[in-house]
C-alpha cells in the first residue's frame, strides 16, 4: 500500500462512556472495529484515549464524577484497568494486540525520556501493535498535567511523526458560532490558518464527562499545524467517520497546514511544546530582528538581562525589552556564565559559541504556537 499513514486518534470520554458514566461496550466495540479497518488497509494507528476516570468513578462508589484530585486519581486507578481490559478484548478478537502507555508531562519535558518514549512507540508500531496512550492520572499532580487529552494527542502526533491526527468529540467540527444556541451556525470544513477569528470561535466544554472544550482543541491544532501534521475534528458515533476522515470525505473540520508556513523539525517541536523553559533572557532590538526575520543566532553582546537559574543546555524564554516573548531556545551558557559576560567588556570571537544557535531556536511570533504550552 503506497499511501499508508501513521494515524493518531484521540478519543474523548464522551465517545466511550454511557449516559451513566460507565464504559459503553457498544461504543468501544465500534471504535475498535473502525481502527481494525484501518489496520487491515495497512495504516499504523495509535490511540490517545480518555475515559479512565469516567470508567472508574462509579466503581469507587461515587454517584457523580468526582472533582477532588485524590478521588479522581483513585477512580483512574480503577478505570485504567477496566479501559485496557475492554480494548484488549476487542482488539484480540480481531487478531491485534493493544498496549498501554501511561505518560506524564515530565516524560515529555525531559529530552531523554521524550526520546525513550518515541523509541518505544516506534517499536510497537513497527510490530503492528496498537498503542493506547493516556495521561497517568493516578499519580499526576495538577501543575504537571497536560490539561486534557487534546493537548496530549497533538504532542503524541509530533512525537511519532504522524501523518494525521483525528480528534473525536461530541461536536461534528468547528463552527463560526455555537450550534447549540444558533441554528444558523456554519460548519467550517477546512482551516489552513488559525487566526484570531478562528480562536474566537472556541467555546466551553460540550460535555460534563470530558475535560476539553473547543479552546483546547484549537490549541492542539496549533501544534499540529506548526509541525506540518494535518488534523481532523469530527463527531464520535457517526458510523464510518474514522475511515472517512482518513480518506478526506468525512463531515467535520480539516486542519491542513499550508506548505508556505513550513514546519518544525523534531527537535524544535520538543523545544516549542515540551521542554519546560527554566529562565528568561532579555535581548536587544538587533537580536529580536535577527530572531523574527531569520531565526538567527543569539550572541552574548545582544543579551540585556538574565532571570532565573539554569545550566547550559536548558531551554529559556527569549523576551524583548517590553517583556514580549519572541522565542524559545536551548542555551549554550549557564545563567552564571551569562551574568559574568554581562559584567565584562566581552568581545565575541568568530569561533565563539553562540548563546543560542539557530538549530536550537524557535521563534514564537511567526509560528502558530499556543502561548499556554
pLDDT attached to residue 368: 54
* Predicted TM-score (pTM) of this structure: 0.85
pLDDT attached to residue 56: 84
Helix (H/G/I), strand (E/B), else coil: 86: helix
CA 33/CA 53 separation, integer angstroms: 24
Q: In what order do the strands lie in the sheet with 44-49?
A: 98-103, 130-135, 44-49, 6-11, 164-169, 231-235, 253-255, 190-191
- Quick one: cell of 82? 477496566
Give the ranges where 93-191 is alpha helix by DSSP (H): 105-109, 111-126, 149-159
Q: Do residues 190 and 253 lie in contact, with contact meaning Cβ atoms separated by under 8 Å?
A: yes
What is each CA distance from 299 to 168, 267, 329, in whole angstroms?
45, 21, 12
Q: Give me the residue label for grid cell 499519580.
A: 139
Helix (H/G/I), strand (E/B), else coil: 371: coil
- Phi, psi (rounded to 5 degrees) for 203: -120, -160
Closest listed residue to residue 147, CA positions, set 207, 101, 213, 82: 213
- Entry field: residues in the chain: 373
pLDDT attached to residue 139: 62
Q: Strand pairing partners for 254?
A: 190, 232
pLDDT attached to residue 209: 42
- Quick one: cell of 218? 484549537
CA 7/CA 160 separation, integer angstroms: 9
Mean pLDDT by 10 residues, the chain (373 residues): 85 81 86 96 95 83 83 87 92 97 86 91 96 78 61 93 93 85 88 85 53 78 91 92 95 86 80 88 91 82 91 93 92 90 59 82 66 45
The sign one gets for the Cα dihedral 136, 171, 158, 160 is positive
CA 309/CA 76 separation, integer angstroms: 36
Amino acid at each position: 500500500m503506497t499511501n499508508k499513514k501513521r494515524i493518531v486518534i484521540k478519543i474523548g470520554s464522551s465517545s466511550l462512556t454511557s449516559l451513566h458514566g460507565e464504559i459503553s461496550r457498544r461504543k468501544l466495540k465500534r471504535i475498535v472495529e473502525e481502527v481494525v479497518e484501518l489496520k487491515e488497509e495497512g495504516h499504523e494507528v495509535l490511540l490517545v484515549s480518555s475515559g479512565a476516570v469516567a470508567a472508574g468513578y462509579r466503581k469507587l462508589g461515587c454517584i457523580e464524577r468526582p472533582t477532588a484530585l485524590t478521588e479522581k486519581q483513585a477512580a483512574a486507578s480503577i478505570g485504567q484497568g477496566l479501559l485496557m481490559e475492554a480494548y484488549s478484548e476487542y482488539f484480540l478478537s480481531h487478531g491485534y494486540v493493544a498496549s498501554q502507555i501511561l505518560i506524564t508531562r515530565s516524560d515529555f519535558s525531559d529530552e531523554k525520556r521524550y526520546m525513550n518514549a518515541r523509541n518505544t512507540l516506534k517499536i510497537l508500531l513497527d510490530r503492528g501493535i496498537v498503542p493506547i496512550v493516556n495521561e497517568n492520572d493516578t499519580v499526576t499532580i495538577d501543575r504537571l498535567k497536560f490539561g486534557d487529552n487534546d493537548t496530549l494527542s497533538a504532542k503524541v502526533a509530533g512525537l511519532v511523526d504522524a501523518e494525521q491526527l483525528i480528534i473525536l468529540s461530541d461536536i461534528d467540527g468547528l463552527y463560526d458560532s455555537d450550534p447549540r444556541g444558533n441554528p444558523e451556525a456554519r460548519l467550517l470544513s477546512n482551516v489552513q490558518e488559525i487566526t484570531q477569528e478562528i480562536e474566537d470561535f472556541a467555546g466551553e466544554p460540550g460535555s460534563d464527562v470530558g475535560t476539553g472544550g473547543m479552546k483546547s482543541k484549537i490549541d492542539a491544532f496549533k501544534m499540529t499545524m506548526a509541525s506540518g501534521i494535518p488534523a481532523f475534528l469530527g463527531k464520535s458515533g457517526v458510523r464510518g467517520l474514522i475511515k472517512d476522515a482518513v480518506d478526506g470525505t468525512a463531515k467535520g473540520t480539516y486542519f491542513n497546514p499550508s506548505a508556505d508556513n513550513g514546519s518544525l523539525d523534531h527537535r524544535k517541536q520538543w523545544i516549542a511544546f515540551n521542554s519546560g523553559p527554566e529562565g528568561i533572557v532579555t535581548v536587544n532590538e538587533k537580536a529580536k530582528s535577527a530572531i523574527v526575520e531569520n531565526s538567527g543566532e543569539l550572541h552574548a553582546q545582544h543579551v540585556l538581562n538574565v532571570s532565573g537559574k539554569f545550566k547550559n543546555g536548558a531551554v529559556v524564554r527569549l523576551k524583548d525589552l517590553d517583556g514580549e516573548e519572541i522565542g524559545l531556545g536551548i542555551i549554550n551558557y549557564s545563567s552564571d556564565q551569562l551574568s559574568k559576560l554581562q559584567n565584562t567588556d566581552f568581545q565575541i570571537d568568530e569561533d565563539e559559541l553562540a548563546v543560542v544557535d539557530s538549530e536550537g531556536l524557535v521563534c514564537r511570533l511567526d509560528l502558530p504556537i499556543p502561548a499556554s504550552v
